[in-house]
Amino acid sequence: MSESIADRLARVRQTVAEAALRSGRRPEDVLIIGVTKTVPLVLIEEAWAAGLQHFGENRVQEAEEKITAWRAAHPERQATWHLIGHLQTNKARTAVSLFEMIQSIDSLRVAEAVSRRAVQAGRTVPVLLEVNVGGEPTKYGFHPDAVIEAAGQVARLPGLRIVGLMTVAPLVADPEAVRPVFRRLRELRDRLQIHYPSIPWQHLSMGMTNDYVVAIEEGATMVRLGRAIFGERPA
């Protein structure tokens, strides 16, 4: 018999709780975000029934169809949607209308586009600054050395509220190999708290299915989990 989403989610919660306690924090200090890229609505409904209320989408186009269908079918079901993938500036208006949080502010240009659309919509959007800590050329994000200056620029934009940092670690066989990536993001957050004490730097979104335990041990407040909750995606 195949394992249910409820079973996987229960195991994830236990693992998160143990990692949080090891790092001297409470299990409820770590938010589990179910990554629903390519996941059909019926499985999202199953995850919601099991108690998951935060979902992350990578692409605005796929998310638009899915979130619109969810809201039409379940207006009474509270769900929080996070954009966790790169945002093209021409999709900023749609993103502002769909997502409660945008985790992937990876350049000043993207921040400015979201700011304009948020002001037009009369919203203040919580955002995370994405940092390319691993320095991978295929990944988006601010260079770690540029984040302090960039944070000041983004903080001045109307319609945005910075609430923390996000990173995507390199994919490696041994999660311990990326512990320094997570540690560096935490240390960078600590420096930003000193530079900009009025900004609530409460969130570190880091860690996915392969490495979320290490990320929590290094201070993650949000983990983005797809396969651990929904199983292997179809090829």
Q: For the chain, what are the domain ranges? A: 5-230
pTM: 0.96
The conformation of residue 167, written as its DSSP 8-state character, comes to: -
**Radius of gyration of the chain from Cα atoms?**
17
pLDDT of residue 19: 98
CATH of 5-230, one of 3.20.20.10, 3.90.550.10, 3.40.47.40, 3.40.630.30: 3.20.20.10
pLDDT of residue 97: 97
Which regions in the chain score pLDDT beneath 70?
Answer: 1, 234-235
Asked if 57 and 75 touch (Cβ cutoff 8 Å), the reply is no
Asked if 80 and 107 touch (Cβ cutoff 8 Å), the reply is no
pLDDT of residue 233: 72
d(CA 145, CA 133) in angstroms, rounded, equals 10
In 58-206, DSSP assigns E strands to 80-83, 101-105, 125-130, 160-166, 203-205
pLDDT of residue 159: 98
